Amino acid sequence: MRVIICGAGQVGYSIAAYLAREENDVTVIDIDPHLISQINDELDVNGIVGHASSPDVLEQAGANGTDLIVAVTHIDEINMIACQVAHSLFNVPKKIARVRAQSYLDPAWANLFSRSHMPIDAIISPEIELANAINERLSTPGATNVISLADGNVNLVGVICYESCPVINTQIRQLDELFPDLPIEIALILRGNNIIIPGENDQIMPNDEVYFFTDAEHLRRAMAAFGHEEQKARHICILGGGNIGLYLAKVLQQKQKKVHIKIIESDEERAQRLSEELQNIIVIHGDGLQHEILEEANIAETETMIAITNDDETNILGSLLAKQYGCERVITLINKPTYRALVTSLGIDAVVSPRASTVSTIMQHVRRGRVKAVHTLRDDVAEVIEAEVSESSALANTLLGELHLPEDIMIGAIVRKEKVLMPSPECKILPGDHIVVMAKAGKSREVERLFTVHVDLF
């Protein structure tokens, strides 16, 4: 597949790396020569310096024979125009654009992106994706990550196993004996810098971040099995009232009932605008790193602080101060991947990344055939692929016990007519089943070869 990516920032780089691993023909366009030089040096892609919306630059990038354009520059209008030019002049069949400005996304203007006006097949909003990701974590207290799969029938959940966790030093195979009627499948263990797709004899160790599959009905019990019985937050403080904070506050008001929300915003004019736009939400103007402001927000009685300013250091320090002053739980926005490994050891409960949320959403649109979803996990350490089994698939009518999967790939769940089946050797895969597969990064091609389910992107 031939792909043009407009924008070589963090999102563009991540998408280019993913697609290049899968042996696609990828060209990246950016006006910054340094970013293009870096991407040419580090990835097997073709980098071009130029304006992504210019017809001559798109032509140089091979737009005439391109299957897909992904526009993720920092300017919404360039992303939209690049897709328009790709459609009108080069007949590119699929176009994806990142759009940040909420005014473009107002339902009143939904017709703007129709085929007869500005034909963009998928609009991705980082603010919306991040707000939804945070809402998922709030809905499952104690989780570091939650991914809903198979129309909400299956959940992939990440948890930290602290010293008090009931299953510390327990072998994976013993979980069935301890919880015989609890459908749960351990999919991945992150232990320091090690990425483990565990076998039945592997043990869960203190401070492991464990990812497991379970069905929606048993999610609360599964969380309790790992020592997480936190209650949903009723008092929430948002540090940062930018576009993400504004949209998150609206989402929480809509989806988290009976919740009390406060926002701390350092810019006086922005704080005034928030107070006028948001009803029944307290907006505090001040520095969220100052003791007086945290006291005014009554942080000691707050169950969850969500730090989502545009500065990673402020988010980290604000989160640590909130916990020091008595806040039960903190969710922290981190842009820089280098900080990711650091913050967990500091006691931050959950980390969200606009880049990771945006990339995962884009990758869900960049697929074809029977693949229903592709999620990247924790800065691309692993991938979760949901696919439907066809009549002609090698998987059809095969017992799981007869499959010989590489150690880097595992089947996490099977959904058959909305019934969730946990994998067992005697379970037979039938045509029409939805299978959820966990694989280490870069193994999608092996998943395709093993299951003869087309994971070809777009």
Instruction: Summarize pLDDT for 309-318 with one digit per residue, the tens.
Output: 999 999 999 9
The pLDDT score that the predictor gives to residue 448 is 65
The pLDDT score that the predictor gives to residue 454 is 47
- What is the CATH number assigned to the segment(s) 235-356? 3.40.50.720
Q: DSSP letters of 165-206?
A: -TTTT-BGGGHHHHSTT--EEEEEEEETTEEE---TT-B--T
Q: How many CB atoms lie within 10 A of CB 286?
A: 16
Distances (CA, A) of 244 to 125, 307, 353, 354, 407: 10, 10, 12, 10, 39
Please report where in the chains the tokens 């969380």 appear, as a residue. 223
The pLDDT score that the predictor gives to residue 287 is 95
CATH superfamily of 2-124: NAD(P)-binding Rossmann-like Domain (3.40.50.720)
The pLDDT score that the predictor gives to residue 330 is 94
CA distance 234 to 323: 17
Are 24 and 1 spatial neighbours (Cβ–Cβ below 8 Å)? yes
Q: Dmax over Cα atoms in the chain, in whole Å? A: 66
Q: DSSP letters of 129-169?
A: HHHHHHHHHHHSTTEEEEEEETTTTEEEEEEE--TT-TTTT
> Residue 71: which residues within 8 A CB-CB, separation 6 or more?
6, 7, 52, 78, 79, 80, 82, 83, 95, 96, 97, 98
Please report where in the chains the tokens 């024979």 appear, as a residue. 65
CA distance 260 to 302: 9
Are 456 and 1 spatial neighbours (Cβ–Cβ below 8 Å)? yes
In the three-class reduction of DSSP (H, G, I as helix; E, B as strand; rest coil), residue 312 is classed as helix
Residue limits of CATH 3.40.50.720 in the chain: 2-124, 235-356
Residue limits of CATH 3.30.70.1450 in the chain: 357-451
386: left (phi over 0), alpha (psi -120 to 50) or beta: beta
Burial of 367 (0-12, 13-18, 19+ CB in 10 A): buried
**CATH for 357-451, options being 1.10.10.10, 3.40.920.10, 2.30.30.140, 3.30.70.1450:** 3.30.70.1450
Amino acid (one-letter) located at 426: E
- Residue ranges, the chain, pLDDT below 70: 341, 344, 367-370, 379, 444-445, 448-458
The pLDDT score that the predictor gives to residue 450 is 61
